[in-house]
Amino acid sequence: MLFIRMLRRVGQSPACGCWTPALPVRFLGISPRQIPADANFHSASFSDTDHPRVLITGGLGQLGVGLANLLRKRFGKDSVILSDIRKPPDHVFHSGPFIYSDILDYKNLREIVVNNRITWLFHYSALLSAVGEANVPLARAVNITGLHNILDVAAEHNLRLFVPSTIGAFGPTSPRNPTPDLCIQRPRTIYGVSKVHAELMGEYYHYRYGLDFRCLRYPGIISADSQPGGGTTDYAVQIFHDAAKHGKFECNLEAHTRLPMMYIDDCLRATLEVMEAPAESLSMRTYNVSAMSFTPEELAQEVLKHVPEFQITYNVDAVRQAIADSWPMKFDDSNARKDWGWKHDFDLPELVTTMLNFHGSETRVAQAN
Ligand SMILES: NC(=O)c1ccc[n+]([C@@H]2O[C@H](COP(=O)([O-])OP(=O)(O)OC[C@H]3O[C@@H](n4cnc5c(N)ncnc54)[C@H](O)[C@@H]3O)[C@@H](O)[C@H]2O)c1
Ligand SMILES: C[C@@H](O)[C@H](N)C(=O)O
């Protein structure tokens, strides 16, 4: 049922800089199912900020389990609920609360938020760039309709909301080297279009309703103990598995394709840091974050230093190559560094050492010597 919220006064609220609606919400042609009449999203209580009760959607993908681990260390195991539409592996199921949640089911989402008194929501469900192109209707449903449900439930229940965006939110007409926070965004994938939509809708809800929306544009994320979900940057994860196991790797992007990348620990720390940043330190609601930028050839050269017999060959996937050619080569994240002190820990050499150590390549190196 729509909640009708009448105008008290028109204009900008000095506290949050957000608009007070001039008409009942249902007349605005937008779809928040409920917006609290007394919403003041910038005045979360001390305990809500210090001890949030967290829901992570799409939590069984490449990034969600690591995020849950990080947040549970900070806020306690039972304060962080991981959710997805897939069945969790045993070790995930036994590591803390897990719940089924389909973001396309608004009632289910609302029940979870209400029953668990959720205060922070990390919205990770999505179809990534390559799988999105393979199933546009599903990508549109999950990435756009699903996002609408998330925005509404967050606005309705006064949540602090994190939604990741991506280098894929830029396109061939964006400046690519470097790509600043504010520039032309005309992506040519359904993934990119849905992420620009998420950025704009989140910012709109923030300015219009005071929703505490926070968003980082992640580069390609590289993780050792979780698999990527079907993106264009997946090669930079797979190369380590194959180097350690077989000493060779067939790359589906051209040798000179330069893309921004980040180690997962930096990505998850950035996510927590922006969520904990005082609202007044955020001059924007959507930030680029960056760590390094490399090509497959440069990555292979670094791997070679650890695995002397390593060989890379190229068998280019035309769809992924076209996507990569339209994305930023290097990200300008100076606003994140200035506003809330973002600083990455992992450059290319540390990344490669860490990944190969994880995959036990030191054994291979020892055998080779
Ligand atoms: N991994 C990266 O390199 C990267 C880079 C930039 C941005 N991001 C963003 O970070 C977020 C997490 O990325 P990831 O790599 O973990 O993604 P992933 O593809 O590995 O996982 C996405 C998860 O969403 C779930 N999902 C799909 N449909 C759903 C539905 N209807 N309801 C609930 N869950 C559903 C899937 O089951 C999957 O577990 C995404 O929003 C992604 O766009 C990731
Ligand atoms: C870059 C990011 O959004 C994802 N890894 C993809 O390639 O689709």
Give pLDDT, residue 276: 98
Q: 58 C-alpha to center of ligand 2: Å? A: 15
What are the residues facing 213 on neighbouring strands?
Answer: 161
Ligand 2, residue 128: give the atom nearest the CA.
8
- Nearest-angstrom CA–CA distance, 116 and 81: 9
Q: Is 166 in the pocket of ligand 2 (CB under 6 A)?
A: yes
Residue identifier of the C-alpha nearest atom 34 of ligand 1 = 58
Catalytic residue among 100, 106, 124, 191: 191
Q: Out of 12-21, 99-108, 171-180, 319-328, which region has the weakest mean confidence (pLDDT)?
A: 12-21
Reported as a pLDDT band with limits 50, 70 and 90, residue 33 is: low
Q: Which ligand is nearest to the CA of 126?
A: 1
- What are the tens digits of pLDDT across the range 240-286? 999 999 999 999 999 999 999 999 999 999 999 999 999 999 999 99
Interacting residues of 317 by C-beta distance below 8 A, sequence separation 6+:
252, 253
Domain boundaries, the chain: 126-367
Q: Examine the residue annotation and report whether 235 is marked as an active-site residue of this protein.
A: no
- Nearest-angstrom CA–CA distance, 228 and 219: 13
Mean pLDDT over the full length of the chain: 89
Interacting residues of 368 by C-beta distance below 8 A, sequence separation 6+:
307, 308, 309
- Nearest-angstrom CA–CA distance, 4 and 21: 11
Give pLDDT, residue 39: 44
The CA-to-CA distance between both ends of the chain, in Å, stands at 70
Give burial (CB, 10 Å; 0-12/13-18/19+) of 247: middle
Question: Which pTM does this prediction carry?
Answer: 0.90
What is the architecture, at CATH level 2, of domain 126-367? 3-Layer(aba) Sandwich (3.40)
Give pLDDT, residue 360: 83
* Distance set, CA 355 to CA 215, 299, 349 (Å): 27, 12, 10
ipTM of the complex: 0.99
Strands (E), 233-333: 248-251, 259-263, 286-288, 292-294, 311-314
Give pLDDT, residue 21: 43
Structure-token pair, residue 292? 């390094």
CB 5 within 8 A of CB 35: yes
The pick from 218, 290, 329 for probing ligand 2's pocket by mutation, whose C-beta has the most ligand atoms within 8 angstroms, reads: 218
- What are the tens digits of pLDDT across the range 185-241? 999 999 999 999 999 999 999 999 999 999 999 999 999 999 999 999 999 999 999
CB 286 within 8 A of CB 339: no
